[in-house]
Amino acid sequence: MTHSNTPSTLVMIFGATGDLAKRKLFPSLYHLYQKGRISKEFAVIGVARRDWSDEKFKEHVKSSVLNAIGTSENIDEFVSHFYYQSHDVSDSDSYQALKNLATELDERYQTNGNRIFYLAMAPEFFGTITDHLKADGLTDTSGYKRLVIEKPFGHNLESAEELNNRIRESFTEDQIYRIDHYLGKEMVQNIEVIRFANAFFEPLWNNRYISNIQVTSSEELGVEERGRYYEKSGALRDMVQNHMLQMVALLAMEPPIKLTTEEIRSEKVKVFRALRPLKDDEVDQYFVRGQYDKGVSKGQKVRGYREEENVDPSSNTETYVAGKLMIDNFRWAGVPFYIRTGKRMETKSTKIVIQFKDIPMNLYYGMDKPLAPNLLVIHIQPEEGITLHLNAKKSGQIIETTPVKLNFANTSIDAMNTPEAYEKLLHDCMRGDATNFTHWDEVKLSWAYVDEISKVWEATRDVNFPNYEAGSVGPKAADELLAKDHFHWWPILDLDVDQC
């Protein structure tokens, strides 16, 4: 194992006994360690309320890694870098104790005072923690200090602004790493490469050749044990404000002049600024909401959203959103970007379909019928790859066309699984690369867009919920949204790489 020149660092994980740390953070750190991507001189302090010992914490980290990855090579050496501090987020004495431990570990591991504060816990504590980190001297360090912050970043523009102002009293914008884990996904990162490293896409990537773009992120699971959070969030805040809009920005942005964090962000921000805002009476023409009813998922009967734990039996929270976004700039004027996301849908899948405009006429046999349109499909998950849908000659005497698919499956090239989003994002943060984190300007503009929709939805209580069966493709109204424009959703299951 060779260890990289990523600067040595001390990572403090607030919420270290929680689910995110267990499922994502520890396994990601382990992967980075095993691949030699983090400096050998690193230490992690798990910070949480429970009264655990270092030993108990190390055992917890060990079992999290084993559960997630199933291997244990070098695990003892790995967990020897982990420490635990029982902590009360609003008590200065707790921060003092944390500071003493941090200073000791800084020295022991020669971390040069580099510190990452990772807030993997309930958002109501974000402000309190950052206030204390500054007031109690944890940010007084000779090395870099970076704050990694999980979503939700606010509940609307107003609360996000409040939170941002508070955090900014302790950290500067360039020290803040706001996580959107979709930006760590291999194929989301590939969008820019596909667009900007190929001669034949970029010239066509505009309203002269593209008729519409569809971004779908569907989930099979329901709300699980997150009812309390989800009731206040719904799919609009949970998925659209962040992940869906980020994918739209990457698809729509202009080529940056350089691949620097600032240049890429500045192009994404321009997309958000060009998003056509919706007036109150337009929301229903552009957006559809849904809520799942009982149904069958993976052969099992499942309950409806209103029957889930910690959910109001007459809840009007949406578990599905479909929308049509217009980007009012020269490149995209007239091209709808359709997005849809939902829980308890027929399959777990994130895909982007770029549909090209029809060519002027069909010269071939069956010329009275239009040719199938060319599609570029970007498979984000679970499979990763690209498919290009073309028309070719059908074998035989008659010159007749047939649709064919050119496939590239990402995993087949490396013959291994691509790294997890969190692994990449943690590594980026350690290296000080904030490109795949969201800048405040992006967060602000996406909240402003989404707030218009939630304002109208929250004011209309007579919603026809539930309106789609669990295990289905979502509400009918989502089909009508596209039918009005003479388009239709490309069926997700038919687009699978494996079926090509």
Cβ at position 304, least distance to ligand BG6 in Å: 17
User: Does 346 interact with ligand BG6 (rule: CB under 6 A)?
Assistant: no
Which residue lies nearer to ligand BG6 by CB, 20 or 429?
20
User: Does 150 interact with ligand BG6 (rule: CB under 6 A)?
Assistant: no
User: Does 423 interact with ligand BG6 (rule: CB under 6 A)?
Assistant: no
User: How many chain residues are in contact with ligand BG6, going by CB under 6 A?
Assistant: 3
DSSP structural state of residue 230: H
Which residue lies nearer to ligand BG6 by CB, 39 or 454?
454
Cβ at position 186, least distance to ligand BG6 in Å: 12
Backbone angles phi, psi at 360, to 5 degrees: -60, -35
Q: Looking at residues 347 to 386 of the shown chain, list those that interact with ligand BG6 (rule: CB under 6 A).
A: 350
> Could you give the C-alpha distances from 378 to 4, 127, 140, 161, in angstroms and in order?
32, 38, 45, 34
Cβ at position 219, least distance to ligand BG6 in Å: 5
User: Does 219 interact with ligand BG6 (rule: CB under 6 A)?
Assistant: yes
Phi-psi label, residue 454: left if phi above 0, alpha if psi -120 to 50, beta otherwise: alpha
Cβ at position 402, least distance to ligand BG6 in Å: 34
Residue 351 and residue 338: Cα distance in Å, rounded? 12
Q: Which residue in the block uniquely carries the two structure tokens 């090395």?
A: 143
Which residue lies nearer to ligand BG6 by CB, 184 or 466?
184
Active site residue 181: no
Residue 153 and residue 410: Cα distance in Å, rounded? 32
Nearest residue to ligand BG6, scored by beta-carbon proximity: 238
Q: Which residue in the block uniquely carries the two structure tokens 């030993």?
A: 55
Q: What single-letter amino acid sits at 213?
A: I
DSSP structural state of residue 279: P
Cβ at position 221, least distance to ligand BG6 in Å: 7
Backbone angles phi, psi at 468, to 5 degrees: -150, 150
Which residue lies nearer to ligand BG6 by CB, 186 or 238?
238
Catalytic residue among 243, 379, 427, 439: 243
Q: Looking at residues 62 to 81 of the shown chain, list those that interact with ligand BG6 (rule: CB under 6 A).
A: none
DSSP structural state of residue 177: E
Residue 442 and residue 446: Cα distance in Å, rounded? 6
DSSP H helices in 169-260: 186-196, 227-235, 245-252
Which residue lies nearer to ligand BG6 by CB, 238 or 451?
238
User: Does 238 interact with ligand BG6 (rule: CB under 6 A)?
Assistant: yes
The SS3 assignment for 64 reads helix
8 A C-beta contact, residue 354 and residue 376: yes
Which residue lies nearer to ligand BG6 by CB, 186 or 267?
186
Cβ at position 408, least distance to ligand BG6 in Å: 21
8 A C-beta contact, residue 267 and residue 245: no
Q: Summarize as ranges the residues that interact with ligand BG6 (CB under 6 A).
A: 219, 238, 350
Q: Return the active site residues.
A: 243
